[in-house]
A and B are shown apart, each in its own frame.
Chain A
């Protein structure tokens, strides 16, 4: 590890030294022995099972539903249609209307008269067993009148057919950030016009294919209406948001709803949603007054859990001939699918502050048009807006380097913010607090053997080796720690970005830590224990972290956007400091000393210059007895804190990827991958490395294997794990990871967040490597996923299907006003 700046003292001087230790996880014991509490494991007395009836059509009017055969089936307790539930089912809300006039279709959990995408629920069957429910669901007879389906987002722009006829348009919202108008930079049109005369202009159009989060645990929900409160267990990332929206849209008092996220098997944004299935289970449980469970099949999950990405990116980069970028214009089309999901249109907007990445661009414009189609709705997937942005800019920086005959690292270095320039306010108006791109890049080069691999690449080119070598670069940053509430307010986001923590000092000296974050694989129980152990000077083993149950953790904003540590961790620090403050007053009383003469170290208050002292656990015990407390002091050390971040955090890193490309077959093979990330101060290096490895493979999978494909009728053809091809162990390699450390200056711990880094950085590194391997054959792009067929086609056509820019006379492959001229095969479909 390379320390590039002095780390702040995260321990508060308590010297347990937990922060930075590769602690093995507390969570593991139950997970490796099968003592798990996944939602689907929960069984309640008399529990009934729900099976959904889903539309096979992408767009259709429901003209009739005959439920009689299903109702008559064995052990069926009830069959519900949209008509039955319409008054109580609530709404799947959009929490972030990105413009005041955003067109937002009403998203009912169960469709009432029209379905807008395949997989939408039109009825449900409740039976005594899951198998009986599913059998009877087959007996529900639904009549549909098919409507024209809008499937292609560019065609949708014409409004010829409408995804929602009642709305009159497929255009949901247009959102723009222009550095000239915002006063954060110059005029991008001017910069591009000038570069057309005496510089270089790179114009490209890239496709961010549609992805499916594909968490391993299928979503499941159990609702128990027995008793005073209605309890919902759900495989969710967001129990607090779910509780709020159930109450806000069904009219049930929030105080009557308890939501529990028990063990949750992955999310990656895919469980950052309030789902139709949760709302239907809630309604059905209330209707029947009995506990109900719904667990989706994998096929249902892939079809009706939200999808991610799905953009067209029209990018124009202007530069001087020495490689200094003068302007960057970003025009996005983003397919939202059939509904504007919880964060929906906001996901591409998050890219607005990230397309300029680590660079000092003087002029910049970002715009996005969000579009409704008759496909599965789209929302956050690991990285959410930032992988798309990083892909766009990092592909463009490679194109610029190639245009100028420069090394891709050299062109980046020419434009990036140097470490002396922090804090740095970017052309998009974000203030980056810290970073050191030089250090991360130098370390990555060294670990990768950059010069040696370049030499090998030259040798293979010269010998005309059928297997060519390509080197892909991705220098990235991201914004984490969502988010300062005021910023969210200014963007019309429907909630704040704070986080809550509560520390309970138990009479025996043990400690309970309640967090408002909601982990689903991240290891918070371990890392949070490390933070609190240091802060309070209590043993790691004596701390229990509680989460994911709104009755225990009444306040929180859950886990997404790499926010848990940066925001939730700081709330822990604040709560712990309050415990120490309270304890100090009592310690002074018990030790008959002035509070000023006390010092807190190693979990003990000592009287300066003496050996007198008291442990914080002893003070907790004394509070429990409350026999001898100072006048007017309440018995108890328990403290809570709510932290609202002052800024985002900005992890960064340099990733280098070597790909071998067989020019005869199009097969690609990853040779090596080096990731040097700067995520600020590391609480637990083992957990950080795990996040990086997993993130890398998800980003690599976008580059090479994954893509959600619909046929011409709007049927998802990648609807099972046979066709939606997650990478296996045999597809991937072991990685080399390392870190530089530029502590964040905006939180006490100096942390920046790591959950999304690997996914954000790796996709362009891989595609850049593939293009680099076959660039000399006339290839300047391969659409993702870069399947062997697509690579082979690109090599065969030698870039002939694209108007290649000739040096010094850069011709756009699209006119500014002309519709897209890309050949259809770049859009996907070919596998």
Chain B
């Protein structure tokens, strides 16, 4: 057993773990962060995606001991302090608004990956969104509304920044996609 200290969602934890323990199992079984889930055993599905020091990782692909001394953010800590007031992160809000989840199993990983994608590229094209989410599988939504959610979140997150094109929506990504006829 090895002792590790990991900050998870803003709280520091100190635990003895077997060296072979995967970060995802540590988060779920030791820390109780069951919002992060396991969907496969080959690191294909991305359901277990969390942030390690602010960047997305598949937590099935990281050993708990590798997280020693580092900071992990899970879906449960994503909204940060605002969560206590029932506030959501803009990406969580966009997933809700655009119906970007059905069973919701892939959703924690998908949201964490989308947040990372937008941090790297705040105004992605549809193709960039699709490629940025390639490591996260969803079986319910056909990805259509997930792409929409990321576009909407990009708009919402960029809104405070003055737009030189005078766009009042700030959601330049949205126009790039054919909206299906929900509202028609």
Contact = CB atoms under 8 A, between A and B. Distances in A.
A32 B97 CA distance: 11
Contacts of B96: 24-25, 28-29, 32
B98 to A, nearest CB: 8
B181 A697 contact: no
A41 B20 CA distance: 21
Contacts of B40: 298, 720-721
A99 interface: no
A218 B140 CA distance: 14
B81 interface: no
Given A721-B42, A736-B178, A216 B103 contact: yes
A696 to B, nearest CB: 6
Contact of B141 (A131, A298, A694): A694
A32 B129 CA distance: 19
Which residue, of A29, A690, A736, has the highest number of chain B Cβ atoms within 10 A? Answer: A690
A696 B142 contact: yes
Contacts of A737: 180-181
B31 to A, nearest CB: 12
Contacts of B135: 728
B99 A24 contact: yes
Contacts of A29: 96
Given A28-B96, A729-B143, A38 B130 contact: no
B8 interface: no
B44 A689 contact: no
Contacts of A204: none
B142 A265 contact: no
Contact of A693 (B28, B142, B183): B142
A28 B137 contact: no
Contacts, number: 199
Interface in B80-139: 83, 88, 92, 95-97, 99, 101-108, 111, 126, 129-131, 133-139
A735 B142 CA distance: 9
B159 interface: no
B77 to A, nearest CB: 9
Contact of B75 (A34, A264, A732): A34
Interface residues of B, number: 64
Interface in A671-729: 685-687, 689-691, 693-698, 720-722, 726, 728-729
Interface in A407-436: none
A216 B137 contact: yes
A69 interface: no
Which residue, of B99, B107, B134, has the highest number of chain A Cβ atoms within 10 A? Answer: B99
A520 B38 contact: no
A31 interface: yes
B144 to A, nearest CB: 4
Contacts of B101: 28, 31-32
Given A690-B145, A693-B142, A720-B41, A736 B181 contact: yes
A745 interface: no
A263 interface: yes
B176 to A, nearest CB: 9
Interface of B: 18, 20, 28, 33-42, 44-45, 47, 74-76, 78-79, 83, 88, 92, 95-97, 99, 101-108, 111, 126, 129-131, 133-148, 177-178, 180-184
Given A33-B92, A732-B144, 20 more contacts: A24-B97, A32-B96, A33-B75, A33-B83, A34-B33, A34-B74, A36-B37, A216-B47, A216-B103, A216-B139, A263-B104, A520-B103, A521-B103, A523-B102, A720-B42, A721-B42, A728-B137, A729-B134, A732-B142, A738-B184
Interface of A: 1, 22, 24-25, 27-29, 31-36, 38, 40-41, 131, 214-218, 263-266, 268, 297-299, 520-523, 685-687, 689-691, 693-698, 720-722, 726, 728-730, 732, 734-739, 758
27 contacts: A28-B95, A32-B96, A33-B83, A34-B108, A36-B34, A36-B37, A38-B34, A216-B45, A216-B140, A217-B103, A266-B105, A268-B139, A298-B45, A521-B102, A686-B182, A693-B180, A698-B142, A720-B42, A722-B42, A726-B137, A728-B136, A729-B143, A729-B147, A734-B144, A737-B181, A738-B180, A738-B184
